[in-house]
Structure formats: C-alpha cells, structure tokens
Amino acid sequence: MKVKVIAEIGINHNGSVELAKKLIDAAALSGCDYVKFQKRNPDVCVPEGQKDKMRKTPWGEMRYIDYKKKIEFQKKEYDEIFKYCEQKGIGCFASVWDNDSVNFMKQYGDITKIPSALITDLDLCRNSRKQFKNLIISTGMSEEKEIYDCIHSCSPDVIMHTNSTYPSPVEELNLSYIKWLKDNWSAEVGYSGHEYGLVTTFAAVAMGCTWIERHLTLDRTMWGSDHLASVEPQGFMKLVKGIRDIEKSMGPGGPRVCLGSELDKRKSLRK
C-alpha cells in the first residue's frame, strides 16, 4: 500500500495566503499527497481566561483573541487555497477544532482530522464522522482509555500515533505503540512526527504506518509556535524520497529467492 504523505501547513502560513501558496508549492514539489491546514472558530476555541491576554506578535502587541482571528483563514482564503491546490495537483484538507469548523470545512471535501487536543470531545468526533467520508485522529497527550473512547465514538479510518510535544524528545516517541495500534484496531495506522530529524519517521514507515504527517515551514526560525518543530522544503524532499525508497525496498518477503542484479553476482562468485 502506498504511504500517504501529509505536509501540515497548520498555522505556519501566519495568516498570509501568499505564504500558504509557497508552502503548497514546496509540498507539491516534494511529491506529497496532501497539505493540511487547521480550522478554528477562535471565539469558541480560545479559553475565556486567555482571550484578553496581551501577546507580542509581528504585527504589534495585541489581545490573544485578536491574534488568533488575524491568522485564521475564512471562506475567501480557503476558496483561493483549494483552487490553487487543484492547479498544483495536490490534495488539501484541514484539522477541525470545533463543530463550527466541521460544518465549514465539509464544503471543501470528504476528509478531515481530529487533532490530539480534541479526541476527548466525543461530540466533535461523532459530528466529524457524520460529515466526512474519511476521518483521521491523532493520539497525542492521551491515555489509552481516552483513545479507546474516541475510536468507539467515531470509528476513524486512520489512527495516528504521535507525541504532542513541539519538538518531541526522541526518547519519548514510543514508536513501539505503532505495533499496539496495528494489533488492536482494524483502521489504518499512521504517524504524525514533531521530532527533530527524519530518521524516526522513516522507522515508522518501516514499522507499517501507511500515513505520515510532518509540519512544513519555509524557515524554522520564523515567528510562530510550530516552526521550530517543522521540516523545511529540502528536508521534505528527502522525507518523501526516503519513504518511496522504503516502499521499494520492502520486497515480496520470503521464502528467499535471488532477484535482479544478484543473479549475475551469483554466477561470478559461486562455483
């Protein structure tokens, strides 16, 4: 099965459609299958105690709720983004953070994702399952009972293992949990990585993950919460090439036979 690769743009566009298009260009050039954004209604998602807190931003100091609204794309922007993705030949969808966003994003396609932060919101999970043909969940920051309840509430098509620390400590990735998911659930299993480097993401592919997601940025030093744990365009090209090479290398399995170039070497070295 071909591994699906998602370049998560998330909020790394910093509210700029032009920056979003540059990130889409990078994902398409790398050979990704999808780009993914994040959709929120800030009035619903931002806790009341956080809304009026002041925050320093590239646009000056402002209330946190005003900052979140400033970087949130609406219909005009998403119409332009989805049209651009269609021109570039790459799929596009968004994680949904509230029911308003579920109802908004269903006009754009048949796939969505419940982020790790919200898999305990079972009403959101059930509504997302009802509205979308393809549903992905991520399991970060969760205990097993929370994951169990989420899966039983919405029967996701893809369950993604992840560590929700940005960036994630390698020693806390617990990639062996991938096997647990594969042994215990009939859904496809994926991996959403937030660690530095690509090696552990390659390991997830070799362990059988059929969906891979990494955050994409043009520059890891840019302002914003997710850039540091993201992968730059050159790294994304290495990521996709590495995944495709792993797919090619898996082969048919046993019993062993000599294949291709090995046959000539067998003739020259064996009596």
pLDDT tens digits, residue range 94-136?
999 999 999 999 999 999 999 999 999 999 999 999 999 999 9
Residue 137: pLDDT band with limits 50, 70, 90: very high
> What six digits make up the tokens of 12?
């790394």
Q: What is the mean pLDDT of residues 34-44?
A: 97
Q: Residue 259: what pLDDT?
A: 85
Quote the Cα angle for 248-254-260, to 5°: 50
- The answer to whether 161 and 131 have CB atoms below 8 angstroms apart is no
Q: Residue 225: what pLDDT?
A: 84
DSSP state of 218: S
Q: In angstroms, rounded to a whole number, what is the distance separating the alpha carbons of residues 187 and 140?
A: 17
- The answer to whether 18 and 222 have CB atoms below 8 angstroms apart is no
pLDDT tens digits, residue range 50-79?
999 999 999 999 999 999 999 999 999 999
Range of the domain at 16: 4-269
What CATH code is carried by the domain that includes residue 254? 3.20.20.70
Q: Residue 271: what pLDDT?
A: 72
- The answer to whether 203 and 175 have CB atoms below 8 angstroms apart is yes
Q: Residue 1: what pLDDT?
A: 81
DSSP state of 119: T
Residue 162: pLDDT band with limits 50, 70, 90: very high
Residue 260: pLDDT band with limits 50, 70, 90: confident
pTM over 0.85: yes
Distances (CA, A) of 67 to 15, 62, 95, 121: 10, 6, 19, 25
Q: Residue 57: what pLDDT?
A: 92
More confident residue, 165 or 270: 165
Q: In angstroms, rounded to a whole number, what is the distance separating the alpha carbons of residues 120 and 122?
A: 6
Q: In angstroms, rounded to a whole number, what is the distance separating the alpha carbons of residues 114 and 150?
A: 10
Q: Residue 163: what pLDDT?
A: 98
pLDDT tens digits, residue range 221-237?
998 889 999 999 999 99
Domain count, the chain: 1
